[in-house]
Chain A
Amino acid sequence: MNEHISIASMGCISAAGKNMAETLQTFKQGHVNIGKITLFETDLDKPAFEVKDYVLKRKNRTLSLLLTAVEEALENYDGNLAGSKYRIGICIGTTVASQLNNIKFYKEFKETGRSDISPVNEYLKGNLADALAREYKLNGPKVVVVNACSSGADAIGTAMSWLKNDQCDIAIAGGADELNKIPVCGFNALGIISDKPCAPFDKDRKGLNLGEGAGVLILERAKITSKINARPELFIAAYGSGSDAYHLTAPHPDGRGLKSAISEALFQANITCGQVGFINAHGTATPDNDKVEGKVIKELFGPEIKMYSSKGYTGHTLGAAGAIETVFTALALKEGWVPKSAGFKNKDEEIGISPLKQNTKVNSKYALSTSLAFGGNNAALLIKKEA
């Protein structure tokens, strides 16, 4: 049960870059690639983080983003998926791809009682885990995790459970979501989309920006990595999750689910808060999320902990966020530096902790990535670098 799970390879795409190298460049230069919404028509004049100059691999944009991240991960992967003797699982988090939400189909049906069924067929073909299984001819366990904004993190946690429980030997885990009209309208109605580039943890933060992208990790039981890849370097040390049991859209004021998620992860890895070098926070820049999350981080790790939110570079990528940020966290551990928290200017005394204002060197063995979601889902992934 306490078998190590290694990160054999990774890939990501977001407005911060179409691969890991581009993303690191964006972080280094502090670019914030936000702009007007161009992917669909809307009356809402809100900025968003779109992946620009992107040639779709499939008609389904979410699947396309996912495939881009998977392909990057495979390019950097020492093993082979095709014809592998190992059992390979697929676990992907999303929000948009799971919804039957084609407006044209629905409008026509509503008006005439009939509608061309082809958007439904596309939807039925669009289950992300199924689509990857077909693409790479894999027949291990596969499922899509739909825990709203913690989906990507929980998908990685689910894949870990499979690996530790001998359900498979290798897993493709991650999350993907496209910028879509439905969440844009929905989050706007909730009053939590900012008119300006988002400012996580800032005292004047006015809400989130939506984004899109995908993050993917190829995870392996460490004993298999040592056969394929001589020396695994990065590991998922632990995953924890907890539910607020509180409210559909508001986080528990004391962050009880988040605390129990973080505690579970630290307990599983058998380490203390003091051993965590830095935290990639969920930090959406909504007043509620950042207040609760910041307070929990301060309470558990102290006000000096190195902490940042990468949402200032990517926007909130919903079901992809937890996976993209796990990739960022692992990359930062590997590269030895973390980006500044874009958008942050002034400390919010009510939170009592500031994120990093400069790109900062880090030299630690462990780092944490947190996710909070509608429905009171909270997840924490602990990443480890083997010296």
Chain B
Amino acid sequence: MNIQGIGILSGTGRGIKSFEQALERGPATPKVSMYSPATNKEIPVFSIDNALLKDPLVLKSSRRADRFCRMAVLAAWDALADSGIKIREEEKLGVIVATAFGPHKTTFNFLDNILDYGDAAVSPTIFSHSVHNAAASYITSALNTQGPVSTLTDFCFPFHEALRLAEAWINQGRCQYVLIGTVDELSPAMEYICDQKCDINEEGKMKPFEFSDKAQTVPGEGSVFFLLSKNEENTKYCRIKRKNEAAVADMFILESDGMITDETVYKQLDTGDANLFNASPIFGGMMSSTGFHCASAALMLKNDRIYSKFAQDQNSHARNSPDNIVSVKYCCNRNKAIVRLTK
């Protein structure tokens, strides 16, 4: 499949241009969040300013949309806009949203309602936003598209599974284009969970190339969408394919972001043959970060360059720009999933 457009929303901003500039600038400084007034505990997080989630045009029929849905709608809309493609009705646009945790913050709001008002006086609006597919519903409404749509969830490989389904839909002829993306959000409770389950680097620094068995992270949130087409001509960015095994590559993106504490397994890719890369210090650690890594790869392939501030070999600008990037993610029990991006 071809990447024809990218929409992205992360702690550093909205839009692929802003992401490109962030790659240029180098590691970003996270914000500080106090997840509970009861404990005063502060942790660094790459969170999205609420001001970024306002857009009267795109969100004109989404007044009730929660943060999770807003993040997804904006990224999906931007991906389509970035492609510059006007999809004709008979071509059909599919939409696949993938997430690790879904709109858990809204689920917690709903629990607040039960605790505060009792079983009989909860908000139906909050309930209807607590289902994982609310975001996909807002996307289809905003884009007025009636093609196939699905929301998938998986803790380890949500983006890979979305990619698998997108490929099947396009091959089956169910649609000519597919918008696929991931969305995951932070909340006080999620920050607490990250603080309990992960080792958070208090200075807000991510160290993807240490291959440590006690890797640290800085939690992040965001949404990234890709407009994919089967059409082999005129790709705006690059080709993308989910693979079972890593083939040769000029660059490996290691998705080592400290969400899984033992990262020693990534060391086997540090052979010196291929450049290693990881732009997590822009957007933070996320179970669903693969899309963000793929966006960085797509920009390098499109722009014929390496964003060397995120390469293991900081002098890598001396190297040839990559033609063939493989993004590798290891998750629980060292299960592995791979996306290959090529010119």
- A residues whose Cβ falls under 8 Å from a Cβ of B: 1, 42-44, 95, 98-101, 103, 106-107, 109-115, 117, 120, 124, 127, 129-130, 141-148, 154, 158, 161-162, 164-165, 167, 181-191, 241-249, 256-257, 260, 264, 373-377
- Contact (Cβ within 8 A) B137 A190: no
Rounded to whole Å, the gap between the CB of B178 and the closest CB of chain A is: 12
Rounded to whole Å, the gap between the CB of A287 and the closest CB of chain B is: 15
The one of B36, B120, B129, B132 that contacts A109, using a Cβ cutoff of 8 Å: B36
CB-defined A-B contacts under 8 Å, sample of 27: A43-B119, A43-B120, A98-B153, A99-B107, A99-B132, A100-B104, A109-B188, A111-B38, A113-B36, A114-B39, A117-B196, A127-B155, A143-B165, A146-B133, A147-B132, A161-B169, A183-B127, A186-B130, A187-B127, A190-B128, A242-B146, A243-B149, A245-B144, A245-B146, A247-B141, A260-B146, A375-B133
Q: Which residue of B lies closest to A127 (CB)?
A: B155
- Contact (Cβ within 8 A) B119 A181: yes
- Contact (Cβ within 8 A) B119 A185: yes
Which B residues lie within 8 Å of A264 (CB)? Answer: 174
The one of B38, B128, B130, B143 that contacts A113, using a Cβ cutoff of 8 Å: B38
- Contact (Cβ within 8 A) B102 A99: yes
The one of A95, A120, A143 that contacts B161, using a Cβ cutoff of 8 Å: A143
- Contact (Cβ within 8 A) A161 B165: yes
The one of A42, A117, A164 that contacts B119, using a Cβ cutoff of 8 Å: A42
- Contact (Cβ within 8 A) B146 A185: no
B168 interface residue (CB < 8 Å to A):
yes
- Contact (Cβ within 8 A) A257 B171: no
The one of B36, B132, B140 that contacts A98, using a Cβ cutoff of 8 Å: B132
- Contact (Cβ within 8 A) A374 B137: yes
B52 interface residue (CB < 8 Å to A):
no
Q: Which residue of A lies closest to B131 (CB)?
A: A148
Which A residues lie within 8 Å of B133 (CB)? Answer: 146-148, 373-375, 377
The one of B121, B143, B151 that contacts A145, using a Cβ cutoff of 8 Å: B151
Complex: how many Å from CA A264 to CA B169?
A: 13
Rounded to whole Å, the gap between the CB of A252 and the closest CB of chain B is: 9
Complex: how many Å from CA A298 to CA B150?
A: 27
B318 interface residue (CB < 8 Å to A):
no
B211 interface residue (CB < 8 Å to A):
no
- Contact (Cβ within 8 A) B150 A109: no
The one of A42, A113, A148, A191 that contacts B192, using a Cβ cutoff of 8 Å: A113
- Contact (Cβ within 8 A) B150 A154: yes
- Contact (Cβ within 8 A) B130 A99: yes
- Contact (Cβ within 8 A) B115 A103: yes
- Contact (Cβ within 8 A) B38 A146: no
Known: A103-B115, A143-B154, A185-B114. 16 other contacts (CB 8 A): A99-B130, A103-B114, A112-B36, A114-B36, A114-B38, A114-B192, A120-B197, A146-B131, A146-B133, A147-B149, A162-B168, A165-B168, A186-B110, A188-B120, A248-B129, A377-B136
- Contact (Cβ within 8 A) A109 B189: yes
Complex: how many Å from CA A273 to CA B74?
A: 39
- Candidate in B127, B169, B196, B197 with the most chain A CB atoms within 10 angstroms: B127
- Contact (Cβ within 8 A) B119 A256: no
Rounded to whole Å, the gap between the CB of B131 and the closest CB of chain A is: 5
Which B residues lie within 8 Å of A95 (CB)? Answer: 131-132
Q: Which residue of A lies closest to B39 (CB)?
A: A113
- Contact (Cβ within 8 A) A127 B141: no
Report how many A-B pairs have Cβ atoms within 8 Å: 213
Which A residues lie within 8 Å of B188 (CB)? Answer: 109
Rounded to whole Å, the gap between the CB of B32 and the closest CB of chain A is: 16
Rounded to whole Å, the gap between the CB of B95 and the closest CB of chain A is: 7
Complex: how many Å from CA A158 to CA B188?
A: 34
The one of B115, B119, B193 that contacts A44, using a Cβ cutoff of 8 Å: B119
Question: What 3 pairs across the A-B complex have the smallest Cβ distances?
Answer: A113-B36, A186-B127, A375-B137
Complex: how many Å from CA A103 to CA B147?
A: 37
Q: Which residue of A lies closest to B96 (CB)?
A: A158
Complex: how many Å from CA A100 to CA B187?
A: 12
Contact with A along B39-55 (1 / 0, CB 8 A): 10100000000000000
Complex: how many Å from CA A79 to CA B64?
A: 49
Rounded to whole Å, the gap between the CB of A51 and the closest CB of chain B is: 22
B214 interface residue (CB < 8 Å to A):
no
- Candidate in A44, A111, A147 with the most chain B CB atoms within 10 angstroms: A147
- Candidate in A1, A111, A113, A127 with the most chain B CB atoms within 10 angstroms: A113
Complex: how many Å from CA A182 to CA B122?
A: 10
Q: Which residue of B lies closest to A165 (CB)?
A: B168
Complex: how many Å from CA A187 to CA B110?
A: 12
Complex: how many Å from CA A240 to CA B124?
A: 29
- Contact (Cβ within 8 A) B145 A245: yes
Q: Which residue of B lies closest to A373 (CB)?
A: B133
Q: In the complex, which residues 94-108 of chain B have their Cβ closer than 8 Å to any Cβ of chain A?
A: 95, 101-102, 104, 107-108
